[in-house]
Structure 1
């Protein structure tokens, strides 16, 4: 992946996710906004793993938090 491709992918992720987060916040949907933030973190983590496989190994160690669990309002409060 070239630096231009990386920049394009980062911009795409940021634009899409921030748009979704903004929409959810404006609509008062706190749990959806939080899930979008978690999804953005997951996507950025996957992109980082493509460049640094050690970071993927560290995250998969026992005791590491799962990033795929949805957050509901009760957990977020």
Structure 2
């Protein structure tokens, strides 16, 4: 389990890296790259959030819903 300081450092690392890439892409007029960087940041933050509180995986229509294992 991460400490508050480790979590804060990881959030800062993700944000700093991605915001830098987003800013560069916007300044260069590359909107699609900027949007991809925003999506990548959201994905990384979701992975970090899932490490703390896993979400139930959404199934495709017609498939049974996958369940998240519960601690005993």
TM over 0.5: yes
Structure 2 portions without partners, runs of 5+ = 61-72
Structure 1 portions without partners, runs of 5+ = 64-77
Is the helix fraction higher in 1 or 2? 1
2:29 matched residue in structure 1: 28
Aligned-residue offset at 1:62: 2.6
Deviation digits for residues 28-64 of structure 1, max 9, x if unmatched?
A: 00000000000000000000000001x2x2xx3035x
Inter-partner Cα distance in structure 2 for 1:35 and 1:62: 25
Alpha-carbon RMSD across the aligned residues, in angstroms, is 0.9
1:39 matched residue in structure 2: 40
- Structure with higher Rg: it is 2
- Which of the pair has the greater relative contact order for Cα pairs under 8 Å at 6+ separation? 1
Aligned-residue offset at 1:17: 0.2
TM-score (normalised: structure 2): 0.78
Inter-partner Cα distance in structure 2 for 1:33 and 1:62: 29
Inter-partner Cα distance in structure 2 for 1:17 and 1:11: 10
